[in-house]
């Protein structure tokens, strides 16, 4: 878990947004979302602004509560959250059959926790693609601290328009990141373009499952809470993601919702009915402590105005994620491995 204290959290809220503009950015971000009356098409057409505002506002909260790797994982009994997260990353690397020295692309890399772990685990060179300047700045600091500047790097760009030549990477992966794409087919086509023929793309996607009922007001509320709290234009169905990969030109190697067989529910760290010393900051008590500290720091001017609002919509997201997980209508770990045909080189 990150050693950053609540003062580091407070000073980081807003990322590259000027301190006096955080509150107005929160206002604008919230208005994109259906929970506050926003429209899906507006989120899609303004996804760059929406997602950048989201990660500028929430990255310090993520790192404070979750560590360097901003994703969920299936978890075994007796396994810590951090151990499960590392295993989840290794699982993906193994399915890509990575070899030492290969060049790998992490699409939507956050602050680089997974890319550092995967680079160390597989002895590969990993490039992280991210359109958020604040996260890249933070990731470079962490790369230097880990001594991985030679094997891990970052490129600032939109994953809908990747600045790489065709047939460039030995493998590509995305961990709970391409859910931010306004169009899955367009995003996967870019992955297809930069991947070498015969090589694989693996992804963990945030999806609604077949149990989701679009006519249920309760289900729609849960979906809108998750979209609001996680910077998503929309949440696609698992079937839509797989079909998008096929339309992009990929051959399906394997696919499965890994949440289905997890011995410990993936959402347990966010469930307020659960208490854990190892994940204290994510528990109900931990959130209450953080909420009060952030409120106090905002009051005295250390944290920018709007900080408490950011925590509020993140807690709303947590409620939606737990409800979606318990009802089985949402998964953050629909996993697929797809291959670019060798014939694509012809």
Confidence of residue 173 (pLDDT cuts 50, 70, 90): very high
pLDDT the model gives residue 5 = 61
Q: Is the pTM of this model over 0.85?
A: yes
pLDDT the model gives residue 313 = 83
The arithmetic mean of pLDDT across residues 161-177, rounded, is 98
Confidence of residue 63 (pLDDT cuts 50, 70, 90): confident
HEC letters along 55-93:
HHHHHHHHHHHHCCCCCCCCECCCCCHHHHHHHHHHHHH
- Highest-confidence range of 47-56, 103-112, 277-286, by mean pLDDT? 103-112
Contact 132, 51 (CB under 8 A): yes
Enumerate domains of the chain plus CATH numbers.
1-346 (3.40.50.150)
Q: How far apart are CA 33 and CA 29, in angstroms?
A: 8
Averaged pLDDT of the chain: 90
The arithmetic mean of pLDDT across residues 231-250, rounded, is 97
The arithmetic mean of pLDDT across residues 146-150, rounded, is 96
The answer to which of 60-74, 203-217, 288-302 has the lowest mean pLDDT is 288-302
């Amino acid at each position: 878990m990150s050693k950053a204290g609540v003062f580091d959290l407070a000073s980081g809220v807003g990322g590259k947004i000027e301190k006096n503009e955080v509150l107005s950015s929160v206002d604008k971000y919230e208005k994109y979302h259906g929970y506050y009356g926003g429209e899906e098409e507006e989120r899609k057409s303004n996804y760059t602004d929406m997602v950048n505002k989201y990660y500028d506002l929430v990255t310090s909260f993520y790192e404070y509560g979750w560590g360097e790797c901003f994703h969920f994982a299936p978890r075994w009994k007796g396994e810590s959250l951090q151990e499960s997260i590392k295993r989840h990353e290794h699982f993906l690397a193994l399915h890509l059959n990575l070899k030492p020295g290969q060049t790998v692309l992490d699409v939507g890399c956050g602050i680089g926790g997974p890319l550092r772990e995967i680079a160390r685990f597989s002895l590969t060179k990993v490039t992280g693609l991210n359109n958020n300047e604040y996260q890249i700045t933070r990731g470079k600091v962490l790369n230097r601290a880990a001594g991985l500047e030679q094997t891990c790097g970052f490129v600032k760009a939109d994953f809908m328009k990747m600045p790489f030549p065709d047939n460039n990477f030995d493998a590509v992966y995305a961990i709970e990141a391409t859910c931010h794409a306004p169009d899955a087919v367009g995003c996967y086509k870019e992955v297809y373009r930069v991947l070498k023929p015969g090589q694989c793309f693996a992804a963990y996607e945030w999806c609604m499952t077949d149990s989701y009922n679009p006519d249920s007001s309760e289900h729609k509320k849960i979906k809108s809470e998750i979209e609001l709290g996680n910077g998503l234009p929309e949440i696609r169905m698992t079937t839509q993601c797989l079909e998008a990969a096929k339309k992009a030109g990929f051959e399906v190697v394997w696919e499965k919702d890994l949440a289905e067989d997890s011995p410990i529910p993936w959402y347990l760290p966010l469930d307020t009915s659960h208490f854990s010393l190892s994940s204290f900051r994510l528990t109900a008590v931990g959130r209450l402590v953080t909420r009060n500290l952030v409120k106090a720091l905002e009051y005295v001017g250390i944290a920018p105005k709007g900080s408490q609002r950011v925590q509020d919509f993140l807690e709303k997201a947590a409620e939606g994620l737990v409800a979606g997980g318990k009802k089985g209508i949402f998964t953050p770990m629909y996993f697929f491995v797809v291959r670019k045909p060798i014939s694509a080189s012809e």
